[in-house]
């Protein structure tokens, strides 16, 4: 199992914090966000890691990592960054992580051990975190519904009620080469402009529409997403309360 961290974007919603550095190098509790992801992956046994870089790539700490470059990062979305790592995705299983999330090694282990070709991690208790991030959690919510057997049934639409949001997709996935072949089949049916504009939840929705199964695993422990200064403050508070930890099992990057 390999790990790929998608870190090509700037993160403009963080304002001045990313004026001179990429989002993945913004500090959280004294450590760049990228270090949190690398440590969680490493503690889960995923020591072979790659990073997809774009904005201010020269400032990304890529030591001991394979580097993939998203040369058109400013014109593409998250799927464009994912395509930059296709060399790994076609040759073996990979856990793929966004560069602006913080999560536990236990969640990574659950994801790596999930059955099937494609799996995603989600938070069933999402509303508690979203109430801390947004004045109205529904403002940033998307549909997320599960089938009776736990597979993903729906994702990425605007919910009419919170009952349509059974969880929050975290930005943490696991692909096998077979899953990537299914992704390729979807992408090859789109125009280049459509691929450029494609976000990850839209891709997952297209895979569901094509009859592909997407497994889900609930996260273990707290997690956070950093899109704004408010998000940084929320994560710092979770760390202060001991709910998010860069602990001994992740000491390799301390």
**Could you report the per-residue pLDDT of 187-231, keeping only the tens digit for each?**
999 999 999 999 999 999 999 999 999 999 999 999 999 999 999
Q: Please tell me whether residue 160 adopts helix, strand or coil conformation.
A: coil
Nearest to 44 by CA among 115, 92, 100, 94: 94
Instruction: For 198, list phi and psi in degrees, rounded to 5.
Output: -80, 130
Position of tokens 């956070």?
A: 224
Q: How far apart are CA 50 and CA 43, in angstroms?
A: 16
Whether 254 is in a domain gets the answer no
pLDDT value at residue 135: 83
pLDDT band at 247 (very low <50, low <70, confident <90, very high): low
Domains: count for the chain: 1
Q: Could you tell me the residue range of the domain that residue 108 belongs to?
A: 2-247
pLDDT value at 250 more than 80? no
pLDDT digits (tens, 9 = 90+) for 134-151: 888 777 889 999 999 999
The string of pLDDT tens digits covering residues 231-240 is 999 999 999 9
* Residue 234 forms part of a structural domain: yes
Residue 150: inside a domain, yes or no? yes
- Rounded CA Rg of the chain: 17
pLDDT value at 251 more than 70: no
Q: 48 falls in which pLDDT band (50, 70, 90)? A: very high
CATH of the domain at 126: 3.90.550.10
253: in domain: no
> Which H or E run includes 19?
none
Does any domain span residue 87?
yes
Residue 71 belongs to some domain of the structure: yes
Residue 209 in any domain: the answer is yes
């Amino acid at each position: 199992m390999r790990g790929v961290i998608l870190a090509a974007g700037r993160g403009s919603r963080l304002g001045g914090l990313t004026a001179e550095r990429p989002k993945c190098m913004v500090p959280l509790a004294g450590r760049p966000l990228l270090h949190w992801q690398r440590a969680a992956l490493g503690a889960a046994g995923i020591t072979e890691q790659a990073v997809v870089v774009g904005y201010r790539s020269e400032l990304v700490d890529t030591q001991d990592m394979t580097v993939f470059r998203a040369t058109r990062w400013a014109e593409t979305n998250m799927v464009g960054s994912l395509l930059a790592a296709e060399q790994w995705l076609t040759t073996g299983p990979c856990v793929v992580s966004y560069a602006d999330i913080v999560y536990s090694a236990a969640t990574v282990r659950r994801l790596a051990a999930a059955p099937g070709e494609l799996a995603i991690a989600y938070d069933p208790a999402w509303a508690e975190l979203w109430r801390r991030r947004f004045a109205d959690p529904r403002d940033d919510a998307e549909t997320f519904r599960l089938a009776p057997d736990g597979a993903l049934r729906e994702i990425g639409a605007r919910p009419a009620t919170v009952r349509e949001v059974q969880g929050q997709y975290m930005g943490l996935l696991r692909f096998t080469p077979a899953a990537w072949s299914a992704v390729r089949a979807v992408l090859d049916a789109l125009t280049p402009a459509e691929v450029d504009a494609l976000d990850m939840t839209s891709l997952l929705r297209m895979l569901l529409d094509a009859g592909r199964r997407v497994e889900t695993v609930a996260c273990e422990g707290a997690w956070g997403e950093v899109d704004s200064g408010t998000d940084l403050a929320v994560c710092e508070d979770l760390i202060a309360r001991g709910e998010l930890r860069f602990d001994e099992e992740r000491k390799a990057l301390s």
